[in-house]
Structure 1
Amino acid sequence: MTPPSLEGLLRDGLAALGLALPDDAVRRLLAYLEALARWNRVYNLTAVRAPAEMLTQHLLDSLAVVAPLRRQLGWSDDAPSGVVAAPSMARVLDVGSGGGLPGVVLAIACPACAVTCVDTVAKKAAFITQVAATLGLPNLRGVHARVETLAQPFDVVVSRAFASLADFVALSRGCLAPGGVWMAMKGRVPHDEIAALPRDVEVFHVEPLSVPGLDAERCLVWMRPAAVDSP
């Protein structure tokens, strides 16, 4: 598939998602896709190889959470050219980011988010650092570490195919700022995982997602710490 075809597929997907991103963001998304495909040939960042499939299964899948994230942060995304009206930078942590999904996509589509992508594999964190420099994304950084060793607070902690919900919240609890939330990207609604969550974690919303061109169930599981009554 030629680059113009990929751009057309991306723009069609954005339209289906109701996202109006500026041309510069579209350019960065396509440049990120190209870098992901190039590095993938050496470092195996993703099992998906075909560019069109990568665009649908990775870029559009990640872009599907942009509007829900903006709503959760209380931001307006109806400004011209998709500029988000935000009171301040929001701190977002992408746990087990791998090749930067969804972290890089969120950094591009939400410039008012300061996105940190953490991964235990050094080459994957290095890829994020390279992407941030090449694409001119000062709001993106890659960190080579285990999430449980991080000390700084984040307003939103997100994961995509990282672990069970219980493991996700257990490992990243120390990174959650007061009033912060967890955002877990899942396939079908994980009822068993929700039931296995500890009592002090509340699922306050399960949001269905529709990814253009992807015939598969997707959802977001929103969680936050909950007060637990003493016995």
Structure 2
Amino acid sequence: MSSEALLISGAEKMGIALNDIQAQQLIAYLELIVKWNKTYNLSAIRTMEEGVKKHLLDSLSIMPFIDQSPLLDVGSGAGLPGIVISIMRPEFAVSVLDTVGKKCHFMQFVKSQLGLKNLSVLNERVEVFEPEQCFGQITTRAFAEINKTLKLTQHLLCDNGHHLLMKGINVEQEALPKMAKIHKLSVPYVSDDRFLIKIKKGLCINQLKTHQTGKINTLY
């Protein structure tokens, strides 16, 4: 099965229909990651097949939770999930932020190569970043512990905004706000447990509790 066929098949299993342009851009993006990996060390994943599964499909799995408000992807690295979201939602603004210059250089190159006019690349430290406008949603993937992420990014989020934090099985050991909602994600062809934590702004960061049970449920 070709990389594009694998991508389309996996997306369909999640109820996501890719048009031709989206599928082509996603594959072209992944090809750039694999190519630049040789010198930039962007990702531990080196093959197209694994990249489709653990980068593209993993990022696509949160699309049902994305709304149309301006989005900031913090610690974006190679652009995951921010660039995937930019490709999928060309009609609204997506910003990707990272402190590492070479990663931002790569993301800027992707923007130019794929013509992603809705994408902004920010080479900033998140804790001192002062945008002109707030963001309605903030995403992260393999960035930091939830408590630290909230503290570093609360000043960037609109009053009615929310965090969308992508996590693996280690979420069981993390401190979660009482009102956090945990959604288990089903990523085709990926056996690892994947979760999305949605947290609305206004929750008191000090009112954190450690989730120590063995079963993942939505927390209220």
TM-score normalized with structure 2 length: 0.87
State how 1:209-220 maps to structure 2 within 5 Å.
209-220=185-196
Aligned residue in 1 for 2:61: 64
State the Cα distance separating 1:189 from its structure 2 match. 6.3
Match of 1:21 among 18, 23, 27: 18
Aligned pair 1:103/2:82, yes or no?
yes
Aligned pair 1:205/2:181, yes or no?
yes
State the Cα distance separating 1:191 from its structure 2 match. 3.5
Say which structure is richer in helix: 1
Aligned partners of 2:145 and 2:174 also within 8 Å? yes
Q: Distance in 2 between matches of 1:100 and 1:226?
A: 28
- Distance verdict in 2 for CA 1:14–1:182, change over 3 Å: same
Q: Distance in 1 between matches of 2:11 and 2:94?
A: 21
Q: Distance in 2 between matches of 1:178 and 1:204?
A: 16
Amino acid at match of 2:158: A
Q: Percent identity?
A: 38
Q: Distance in 1 between matches of 2:95 and 2:174?
A: 26
Aligned pair 1:133/2:112, yes or no?
yes
State how 1:66-215 maps to structure 2 within 5 Å.
66-69=63-66, 73=67, 90-152=69-131, 153-188=134-169, 190-195=171-176, 197=177, 203-215=179-191
TM-score normalized with structure 1 length: 0.83
Secondary structure of 2:182's aligned partner = strand
Any stretches of 5+ residues in structure 1 without a counterpart? 74-88
Match of 1:39 among 25, 28, 36: 36
Q: Give the ranges of 4+ consecutive aligned residues of structure 1 lying more than 3 Å apart after TM superposition.
A: none
Q: Distance in 1 between matches of 2:90 and 2:110?
A: 15
Aligned-residue RMSD, C-alpha: 1.5
Q: Distance in 2 between matches of 1:12 and 1:113?
A: 26
Q: Give CA deviations for 1:13-55 in whole Å, capped at 9, x if unaligned.
A: 1111111121101110011011111111110000111110011
- Distance verdict in 2 for CA 1:54–1:210, change over 3 Å: same
Amino acid at match of 1:18: G
Aligned residue in 1 for 2:197: 221
Amino acid at match of 2:111: A
Secondary structure of 2:192's aligned partner = coil
